[in-house]
Amino acid sequence: MSEFMPGKLVNLSPLVHRVVANNAGMMTGPGTNSYLIGNQQIAVIDPGPANPTHIDAIIDAAESLQGKIQWILCTHTHLDHSPGAALLKEKTGAVICGQPAPPGSSQDANFHPDQHWQDTSELACEEFSISAIHTPGHASNHLCFLLHDENLLFTGDHIMSGSTVVISPPDGNMIQYLASLEKLKSYPIDNLAPAHGGILTNPLEIIEDTIEHRLMREKKVLERIPTIPTCDIESLTASVYDEVPVFLHPIARMSLTAHLEKLEEEKRVIRNEGLWALERM
C-alpha cells in the first residue's frame, strides 16, 4: 500500500501523476486520488477535502514536476472530492471547472466553478487534451474526464476499484447510473483511473460487470419482495443483501432505495405507506 501513502507523488505515466489525500475510510478506500495531468501546464482532477496538508502536497508535487497548476477539474461535489478546490485556487490562481452542487447535506455548497462544464466540454493545451463526459447516477452533476492522449478515463466515483458505487437518492438515480455506464461503451478507453484505488485495465469488461451486478441485485429485489409478509425497506435490505455484513446494511439501503425507485418508475413495483409489492400486470 506504499503507493497510496498520503501526500506521496506517484508517477503513473509520462502525463499522469497521483497524490492521495489523508482521508482513508470505509467509503473512500485508501483515500481520495488527486490526479495531476501534464508536467508544465498542469490540471488537477479532484483536489479532495479542504485539508491544507493535502493541498500543499499537490502544490509541492507540481513544483517537483517544474510545472504550474492552471486548472482544477472536479468530477462532482461530494465532500471528499471538491472542497479543496477553493483553497487550491487561492494558492495557485487556477481556474475551477465542473458543475455546481445540487442541494443536499452531502454536497459541497461552497463549490463555485469558474467554468461550468457540460457534456463534451474540453480543455486543450500543448501537452494534452481532456473532454468531459456527463455521467449522472452516483451524483446528478457527475463528470468523467477522458484524457485523449492516453485514452485514460478518470471515473471519479462512477466506477470504483474493489467495490460497487453507492447510489443514494434523491440526488443518486439508478436509471441514470445504468444509462451512464452504457454511454461509456462508445468511447475509446484503454484504462480507468478511479477516485479511490488503483488504475483499472479491461474497461469494457469492468463496465459490463458493473451493469451485470446491478441487474443481478435488481433481479434479487423482484424475487424477494413476494416472500416478505411486511415488505418494508429494512426487511427487504436484510433479504436482498443477505451476503453483506449487517453493519453495512445502512449503506446498502441507499442503493436498494435507488433500485426500488427505478422499478417503481418502470411500473414493476408499487409503494404503499412505506411497504413494497410487485405491480400486478
Burial 198-230 (b: 16+ CB within 10 A, else e): bebeebeebbeebeeebeebbebbeebbeebee
Query: According to the model, what pLDDT value does residue 2 have?
Result: 74
Length of the chain measured in residues: 281
Q: How do residues 159-172 score in pLDDT, each as one tens digit? A: 998 788 999 999 99
Helix 203-224 crosses helix 233-240 at what angle (to 10 degrees)? 130
Q: Is residue 89 part of a domain?
A: yes
Give yes or no: residues 171 and 260 share one domain: no
Query: According to the model, what pLDDT value does residue 280 have?
Result: 81
Give yes or no: residues 143 and 267 share one domain: no
Which 3 state secondary structure label does DSSP give 70?
strand
The closest of 101, 112, 69 to 88, measured between CA atoms, is: 69
Written as nine digits, the cell of 45 is 482532477
Q: State which residues form the domain around 155.
A: 2-201
Q: Is residue 69 part of a domain?
A: yes
Is the dihedral angle over the CA atoms 241, 243, 247, 252 positive or is it negative? Answer: negative
Give yes or no: residues 187 and 238 share one domain: no
Query: According to the model, what pLDDT value does residue 115 have?
Result: 98
Written as nine digits, the cell of 135 is 455521467
Give yes or no: residues 38 and 176 share one domain: yes
Name the pTM for this structure. Answer: 0.96
Mean residue pLDDT of the chain comes to 96
Residue ranges of the chain with per-residue pLDDT less than 50: none
Q: How do residues 99-108 score in pLDDT, each as one tens digit? A: 999 999 999 9
